[in-house]
Amino acid sequence: MPAKTGQQYIGRLKQANNNVYIHGERVDDVTKHPAFKNAIQSMAKLYDIQYEKPEKMLYTSPTTGDKVGKTFMVPTTIDELIERREAIMEWQSFTKGLMGRSPDYLNADVMAMGPASEFYAEGDPAFAENARNYAAFARENDISLTHTLIHPQVNRAKIQADQKDANVALQVVEKNDQGVIVDGIRLLATQGGITDEILVFPSTVKKSGELDDPYSLAFAIPNNTPGLKYLSRESFEYGENRYDHPLSSRFEEGDTIVAFDHVLVPWDRIFVLENSSICNRAFAETNAVVHMTHQVITKDIAKTEFLLGVVLTLMDSIGIDGFQHVKDKGTEIMLTLETMKSHLFRAEHNAKLDKWGMMTPDFQALDAARNWFPRIYPRMAEILRILGASGMMGIPTHADFNNKEIGPILHRAMQGKNVEGYERVQIFRLAWDLTMSAFGSRQTHYEYYFFGDPIKMGMAYFDKYEKEVYKSQVRDFLSSQQIQQVNI
Ligand SMILES: Cc1cc2nc3c(=O)[nH]c(=O)nc-3n(C[C@H](O)[C@H](O)[C@H](O)COP(=O)(O)OP(=O)(O)OC[C@H]3O[C@@H](n4cnc5c(N)ncnc54)[C@H](O)[C@@H]3O)c2cc1C
């Protein structure tokens, strides 16, 4: 089947009728519900873009000859790697990097499962076949995915097996002829219930060996599998008016707690079963993490470009762009953008064929970028907030401007250096929705925790960084000075 259209994506969601709950109620039709329908429209637009720009977004399937999504393409040359990234960038230019779980993110993960499928044979040769088949199935059917990696936050000082209710986290409870029955909770599935399927993978920090095995699983199942429930947080979309809520009315993806109530996972959908060692190595050894990071850094660049554009437009609108510290703050964002672009360039141009036959970007460059961005993103949001000052709160609505009595007052009161009140407020509402509304502050929180806890990631980064080369330079330098040792 060729790549899907937006209409097909929506049609599948209607048909699937996934179990999604919000505000204490089951949602009848996510495609019509105010909390989900606009995010679904944006996702549909992404699928439509595949057909608006087929040269950029589609390629010929290696198995069926159908035109399928290029974000599933296994790159074998640097040119293909760049082509794949350009398709990702096309989607990111539409979302401005604000839908962190647009399909390209998990498509990168699934893509790597194909060539690297033999990795999963370590648990069982059948699991390798499952991984291979799933990668092809997802590509040929343009499957949209949500995913879940982590256990509930009960008591982080204890390993899962020692929790007071150890059964709260997702685990295997039974095996039978058809498959494995799993039960328990997983967090935190962004876009839960508004995709076709869920990918359950482990987080890569299970350090208690066999004690972690019951919780160490990887599989994929349709979102309407009996017993699977998505418990959605309240929506941060406060209205459909694009003037009032320019971003949250388009890109509010939603986050969900995932409850598995004795859910059957068929044998042919299992990739890892009760093996923490394999789980801990899966992302790294299949190079899925490298391809996912390649997508993420592309998203980060699109997001930084947009944020820079908003900052510059805002500066201009109230005439602060000539002040020294204001310029310096703009420079901070420019430097971030240029640095991220350099990381991406280095990653792509130093790419090498890995042992699975995938052209794989230089992870040193991507790893630096993915460790740095969560640290710098909150600062960029802060810069926008600082420069916007009172303007971030002086944000009347479209309805206020339309009111005969107060509209003209506001239009005059809110005027900018070279824009009228209505236009200036539009810029500030955009800045507010990007950084300060519930949607905007989630963006900051999201970026901070995108790849996991940045503190733990930083520690892991430090531990595996090649330090000896730098220490030896210092040793050589000191010894080259030939200073006589003082006899004490
Ligand atoms: C908006 C948003 C969307 C998300 N979307 C997804 C998604 O789509 N799919 C998905 O799988 N996950 C998703 N996540 C989850 C994300 O992966 C986690 O938030 C991240 O891995 C951190 O884990 P945690 O939230 O359990 O934090 P915790 O591990 O509970 O950490 C909480 C705090 O305690 C500290 N802490 C915890 N343990 C230790 C320790 N041993 N030593 C020192 N300090 C410690 C941490 O530093 C942190 O400050 C999302 C998160 C957010 C915020």
Write out pLDDT tens, residues 78-123. Answer: 999 999 999 999 999 999 999 999 999 999 999 999 999 999 999 9
Q: Is residue 467 part of a domain?
A: yes
User: Do 220 and 303 reside in the same domain of the chain?
Assistant: no
Whose Cα sits closest to atom 34 in ligand 1?
A: 156
Q: What's the structural domain count of the chain? A: 2
The confidence score (pLDDT) of residue 208 equals: 78
Per residue in 131-170, pLDDT (tens digit) is 999 999 999 999 999 999 999 999 988 988 888 888 899 9
Q: Look up the CATH number of the domain holding residue 211.
A: 2.40.110.10
Q: Is residue 206 part of a domain?
A: yes
Question: What's the mean per-residue pLDDT of the chain?
Answer: 96
Residue 221 CB neighbour total at 10 angstroms: 20
Q: Is residue 485 part of a domain?
A: no
CA 308, 422, 252: angle at the middle one, nearest 5?
55
The confidence score (pLDDT) of residue 145 equals: 98
Question: Ramachandran region of residue 24, left (φ > 0), alpha (ψ -120 to 50) or beta?
Answer: left
Query: Model confidence at 205, in pLDDT bands (50, 70, 90)?
Result: low
Query: Model confidence at 483, in pLDDT bands (50, 70, 90)?
Result: low
Q: Which atom of ligand 1 lies at the shortest distance from residue 190's CA?
A: 8
Query: Model confidence at 185, in pLDDT bands (50, 70, 90)?
Result: very high
Q: Is residue 481 part of a domain?
A: no
Residues 354-380 have a mean pLDDT of 98
User: Do 300 and 265 reside in the same domain of the chain?
Assistant: no
The confidence score (pLDDT) of residue 124 equals: 97
Please say if the pLDDT value at position 485 is more than 70.
no
Per residue in 374-416, pLDDT (tens digit) is 999 999 999 999 999 999 999 999 999 999 999 999 999 999 9
User: Do 296 and 245 reside in the same domain of the chain?
Assistant: no
Ligand 1 centroid from CA 274, angstroms: 22
User: Do 333 and 459 reside in the same domain of the chain?
Assistant: yes
Q: Is residue 173 part of a domain?
A: yes
272's tokens: 């890892």
Q: How far apart are CA 447 and CA 431, in angstroms?
A: 17
Please say if the pLDDT value at position 275 is more than 90.
yes
Residue 138 CB neighbour total at 10 angstroms: 27
Q: Is the CB of 101 under 6 A from ligand 1?
A: yes
Q: Is residue 210 part of a domain?
A: yes
Ligand 1 centroid from CA 86, angstroms: 30
* Distances, alpha carbon 16 to alpha carbons 28, 192, 263, 358, 441, in Å: 11, 13, 16, 34, 32
Q: Is residue 1 part of a domain?
A: no
Q: Is residue 487 part of a domain?
A: no
DSSP 207-247: -SGGGGGGG-EEEEEETT-TTEEEEEPPPS---S-TTTSTT
| Domain ranges, residue 438 | 287-472
Q: Is the CB of 207 under 6 A from ligand 1?
A: no
User: Do 174 and 293 reside in the same domain of the chain?
Assistant: no
Give residues with Cβ within 8 angstroms of 18, minimum separation 6. Answer: 30, 193, 194, 223, 224, 228, 230
Whose Cα sits closest to atom 7 in ligand 1?
A: 189
The conformation of residue 264, written as its DSSP 8-state character, comes to E
More confident residue, 203 or 335: 335
The confidence score (pLDDT) of residue 209 equals: 80
The confidence score (pLDDT) of residue 238 equals: 86
Q: Look up the CATH number of the domain holding residue 427.
A: 1.20.140.10
28-32, 325-329, 337-341, 480-484: least confidently modelled range: 480-484
User: Do 292 and 369 reside in the same domain of the chain?
Assistant: yes
Task: Output the pTM of the full model.
Answer: 0.96
The confidence score (pLDDT) of residue 427 equals: 98
Query: Model confidence at 488, in pLDDT bands (50, 70, 90)?
Result: low
Q: Which of 98, 187, 258 to mutate to test the pocket of ligand 1 (most atoms within 8 A of CB)?
A: 187
11's tokens: 């049609």
Whose Cα sits closest to atom 36 in ligand 1?
A: 156
Ligand 1 centroid from CA 345, angstroms: 29
With both helix axes pointing from N to C terminus, report the angle between 103-113 and 288-317 in degrees, rounded to the nearest 10.
Answer: 160
